[in-house]
Amino acid sequence: MVETLNKAGANNIWEHTLMEHGSATVSCKPSFSGSAHSNKESFIKAKHEDLEFILQTDQETDGIEGVGAQLHAAARTPDVLTSLRLFSQGADPNFYHHDKKNMPLHVAAKSGQTLQAELFIVYGADITKKDGSGKTPEECAFEAGHFHLANRLKEAKYHVPDRLSQYLYSRKPGSDNQFNLVKNDLTNLNYCQNNEAKAKLEMLSNSQLERLIEDVYDEVDRREAENASLINYSKGQTHCKINSTPFLPIHPALSTSRNQGRQKLGRLTDKEFNAMIIDILQEVKRRDTANNFSPLNKLKPEISDEEPLYDSVASDDDYAYTDKISPEREPLLSNGAQSSDKASEEDLRRNLSSSQATINRLQSEIKLLQDTVAGLVKENRELKDEILRARSYSRGIEASGEGEAEPVSDTKGQKSTRPTSMYETREALRYWSGKSDESRNGTQSLYQRQLYTQGTPRYEDVIRRTEQVAKRIKELWTAVQAGDFTTFVPCAERIRVAVAELTAIFPQSPPDELIRKLGANTARLQIECGTLPNCEGSVASHCLQQIRNCAYELAKATKLIVMNAQNG
């Protein structure tokens, strides 16, 4: 990849504006033979650190999303120079294409572009990310038949543990036996297990463990460089300068607490440092087996560098070597080894208790529903019996020819016990059909016999009964606003009773036009209220609108009746 970029002229990306004719920055590039060291230093800083000479993107037209989309499109081509230019302009290697539902590394793996995949990994592409179909880049390459690229991606995924294993055992594990070297003879390294330190490692979050492994990785490089310098010096190569740095240098991009922790790694002896690496590898294997180990090459930004990390895992005593464990500490060590098993057992018990509580709650709800259904069945049966008794009573009154007019039944505060399913819409038309057949309803015949003997009603009676009608209309309107369809039929029934009370005091031979309109709207209101519970969608909306219109016409007719009674 590096050779390909070099042959393609990758250096021109960092000197784009210097190559333009007439550019004002051309003269700032120092010559090769120049002796001014400060000028060369400032130029290198401006070129590679400040990126002053690259091709800048148009933030209004392209932006981060536009550059990421270009990188996604270039991933399927062998043009790695274009991808490098997009990275210099701020492209995100983990850009997710919402339409294609994948990232540039998935595209490169599926297309077999090995150089592109290597460049993406160098710039921080996440190897473990999955696309929209749940496949990793390694799986995409394997399914497309690019087995060599799939193996390369697998090696990159386990690069850090392989590197640490190579430092310990002086050999690199193969692709088929990742972490297996940890099971080898640990006595060759004078390894002494420290359960307390391992327990602290297990308590670290994935992000904290990643940061610790990064610092251990840098410490491995420092120690290997120091060993190489000592070997060359011992062979008589006096021109090789001995690396005498006892710890990692200060990193300007890291916080003070983390730099102190990095330097603290240099104080560990070889035995202690090796034991720490072995514990880290075992912890990595445990998390990788449980599919809870996040990628090592990407840090989560929500974790601040200011958080203390090494006070709990990298102290001088955590990896101190002891030749013999005292008998007094053996019970403590055995308890520490069993702590993880006890924690798992407690989690299982908590989950079992939670599941049992859920089952008990569901059983209680089922029992409550069964009781409710039984109560409704009983109530329905009682209502049917009550209706039969009422009909028998009405027929008895009609046969006797004697009785009083139907009283006004104020049902305020009482809950109607007549279900919607038992309501017959045909019953609403019996009183207002215009026929005088007395056998239809005993109450109706009583009203009619009373109406033929009455004259003009008193104004006080009209006011009292129209107020009752208005009150019932208001109850229906409140139910309409609340959307409680189950109360529409009882409200319509109460309106019918109130209207019957009002029309009973007016002579109806011949009936007045307002009285006739009042009765017709009442009948239509009962029909619409009885039909609404069985309707859905647009039909229900139409029925609801008809109910509003009927209520409005009833209120309007009632108001006109009051005005006529006041004037007459």
Residue 66 confidence (pLDDT) above 90: no
Q: Please state the rounded mean pLDDT for residues 553-564.
A: 86
Peptide bond into 510 cis (omega under 30): yes
Q: Is 215 exposed, middle or buried (0-12, 13-18, 19+ CB in 10 A)?
A: buried
The residues with which 102 forms a beta bridge, in sequence order, are 97
Tens of pLDDT along 115-174? 999 999 999 899 989 999 999 999 999 999 999 999 999 998 888 888 898 888 887 765
DSSP for 373-441, written as a single string: HHHHHHHHHHHHHHHHHHHHHHHHHHHHT---PPPP---TT------GGG--GGGGGSSSSS---TTS-
Q: Please, which pLDDT band fits residue 478 given cuts at 50, 70 and 90? A: confident
User: How many angstroms separate the CA atoms of 201 and 196, rounded?
Assistant: 9
pTM score, two decimals? 0.47
Alpha helices (runs of H) in 235-329, residue ranges in sequence order: 256-264, 270-289
User: How many angstroms separate the CA atoms of 188 and 6, rounded?
Assistant: 44
Tens of pLDDT along 318-374? 444 444 444 544 554 455 546 667 777 888 888 888 899 999 999 999 999 999 999
The pLDDT, as a whole number, for residue 450 is: 44
The full set of domains in the chain, from first to last, is: 2-16+54-157 (1.25.40.20), 186-323 (no CATH), 403-567 (1.20.120.330)
SS3 156: helix
Tens of pLDDT along 94-107? 999 989 999 999 99
CB 146 within 8 A of CB 137: no
CB 504 within 8 A of CB 405: yes
SS3 104: helix
Tens of pLDDT along 252-290? 889 999 999 999 998 999 899 999 999 999 888 888 887
